[in-house]
Structure 1
């Protein structure tokens, strides 16, 4: 936890990991869609885009690019 102007900032470990992958915005889009529709099945494009981003990250990591 870090301190900002006397307030404690709580860091979500999942969000930290997603920031490192470069896929955080895709994650947010999935969350927004689910919040708006209340049905993840209507968010298949966002989920697919997120999965693709994560797959590309894993490929870069596996090939030593990261």
Structure 2
């Protein structure tokens, strides 16, 4: 018999990073994300975690707005340098 894990066992080793967690941590909203997760684990009802969800959503929206502004500035700078 093989010693490999069955295909349905999707647990990750401690040193393996979750790509979603890496992505969220880059936004600066990681702690708020963990707050939502903790609330959900405690209450098992997303309706009881709306303040945490809203705070996380606000953080992500702020990050996305800032990121879009950075991209627009970068594109404008690239276009300007290409025209010179």
- TM-score, structure 2 normalization: 0.66
CA apart distance, 1:8: 6.6
Pair member with larger Rg? 2
Q: Unpaired runs of 5+ in structure 1?
A: 1-6
Q: Unpaired runs of 5+ in structure 2?
A: 1-12, 72-84
Tell whether 2:56 aligns with 1:62. no
Figure out how many residues of one structure are paired with residues of the other and give that number.
59
Separation of aligned partners in 1, 2:28 and 2:44: 26
Residue of structure 2 in register with 1:34 after alignment: 40
Provide runs of 4+ in structure 1 moved above 4 Å: none
Name whichever structure is richer in strand by fraction: 1
- TM-score, structure 1 normalization: 0.84
Residue of structure 2 in register with 1:53 after alignment: 59
Separation of aligned partners in 1, 2:49 and 2:27: 21
CA apart distance, 1:24: 0.5
